[in-house]
Amino acid sequence: MKKGQELTGKVLYVNFPNKAVIETEEGLVTAKNALPGQEVKVRVIKNRKGKPEASVLEVIKEADDAVKAQCPHFGQCGGCTFLTMTYEKELKLKQEQAKKLLDTVVEPESYVWEPIKASPVFEGYRNKMEFSFGDEYKDGPLSLGMHKRGSFYDVVMTDSCYICDEDYRKILKSVRDYWADKGYKFFHKMRHEGYLRHLLVRKAVYSGEIMVALVTSSESNPDLTEFTDMLLSLDLKGKIVSILHTINDSTSDVVQSDRTDILYGRDYIEETILGLKFKISEFSFFQTNSRSAEVLYSAVRDFIGDLSEGGEPDKIVYDLYSGTGTITQLMSPVAKKVIGVEIVEEAVLAARDNTKLNGINNCEFICGDVLKAIDDIDQKPDFIILDPPRDGIHPKALPKILNYGVDRIVYISCKLTSLIRDLEPIQAAGYKVERAVCVDQFPWTGGIETIVLLSKK
C-alpha cells in the first residue's frame, strides 16, 4: 500500500481505544473513527514496517445493526465514538477490548474476569464540561462548544450535546450569544491574541448546584456585572451557586488559572457520593459521571474487602494519586489510618476540607509527587490503592511502591494501555492478578475504567 492510496473495505473489529481493523482488497489497514460492521472508504496516510494506517473518508454503508445517532453533532464533534451502536453493543465491545488487552500480559484463565458494570445513566450524565471558544471555519462567526473531529482549530457549536443535560445547553448558548453580541474575539491559538478562551461548567447531580467559570486572557477588561446577571436570569433546573472569572495568559490550549475572581456566590459546589459530601472547586479532579462513580467506588470497596477481618481496624492504607480524597474517605471505616498522596495542591486542600465536612479524622493528605512523597512517610502501608492519571505510574515510583511488599494492591485505571504497561513490572515483582472488572464511566466514548486486584504470591 502506498501513501495517498484510496481503498474500500469492511471493519472487522476495533481495538482499544479507537483503532478499527479494516479488511480491504490490498490487505488489512487500521483507521480511527470506524465501527464494527461498517463498510468504509479510506485513504492510506502512512505505511511503516508493513503496518498501514489510514483515515476514513466516508462510511459507505453502516453496520446491519446500526442505530440512528441520538446527537445531531455526532460525526462533526470529536467527543463521542459509539452513538450509532446500541448501549448494550457498546458495553460488549468495551468488555472485549479490555479482556483482549489484559490477556496479553496475564494468563487468560488465571484470574476472575467479571462482567462489565454499566453506567446507571447514559444521557446527560456529565457533571463537568469544558467548552472552547472559536469558529467552525476560518473567519466564521463566534462558536462555543467542542473541537471538530480531527481538528485542532475548528470548534463545533454543541448546543444539543447528548451527554450533558439541558442546563449545560442553555448556559452554552446564552454565553455564546452574549459575547457574540458584544463583538469580542476568541483567543487565537497561533497569534496568541483575543479575549475568550473557555467556558467551564460543573453541575452536581444530587444537589443540582452549578458552577460557571469564564476563562479569558487579560487582553480586555470588561465589566462582567451584566454577564453575571444574564447567567443568574436563566431558567434552569439546577441552581447557579458559583460564577467565576479565570484569567489565563498561557500560550498552550489548556484550562488553567493565573488569577480567578468570584463574580457570584462561592468558589465550589457540593456533591454527594455514597453518603459522603464533597466540595468541588474549579480545578478539582472528580469523576465526570457521578452516578457511575458510585458504581465504580462500590466495586473498589468490594475488591478491597474487609481489611480488619471482623476485628478492630488496624491497617494502614496508602491511597496514591488520591485526588480530592474520595477513595481515601471511603476506606476510612475499615482502616486504622488512610494516607492520601496527591501532587495537585488544590485537590489536597479540597480533600482536607472534605474530611472535615464528613467528620472523618483518620485520613491524612500529603501534597507531593508520589515518587518523592512516599520516602517521607514514617508509617508503612499494609494495603495500597493506586489510582494514577492517564499516563499511569512513574516508572521510577513503581519499584518504590512494590518494595513495601504489601499483601494486596488495588489498581484503578482510566487508560487500559497504561495499566497493561504497569502490570508487567508489578507481576515481575511477585504479584498475581486475582480479579478484574470494567466500569463504564464514559458512555458513547472510547474511555473505560478498569479495576484490578493483585495479591502477593
User: Which are the catalytic amino acids?
Assistant: 414
Residues 6+ apart with CB under 8 A from 225: none
Q: What is the dihedral of CA 149, 155, 157, 159, to 10 degrees?
A: 70
How far apart CA 447 and CA 90 sit, in angstroms, is 11
How far apart CA 362 and CA 380 sit, in angstroms, is 15
How far apart CA 187 and CA 216 sit, in angstroms, is 8
**Residue 455 class from Cβ within 10 Å (0-12 exposed, 13-18 middle, 19+ buried)?**
middle
Residues 6+ apart with CB under 8 A from 339: 316, 317, 318, 319, 363, 364, 365, 366, 377, 379, 381
Closest CA to 179 of 193, 164, 194: 194
DSSP code, position 187 = P
Q: Which helix (H) or strand (E) holds 51?
A: strand 51-61
Find the helix packing angle between 87-102 and 416-428, rounded to 10°: 30
Query: 109 vs 99, 112, 437, CA distance in Å?
Result: 11, 8, 15
How far is the first Cα of the chain from the last one, in angstroms, to the nearest whole number? 48
Q: Which helix (H) or strand (E) holds 150?
A: none
Find the helix packing angle between 166-182 and 225-232, rounded to 10°: 150
Residues 6+ apart with CB under 8 A from 95: 115, 116, 438
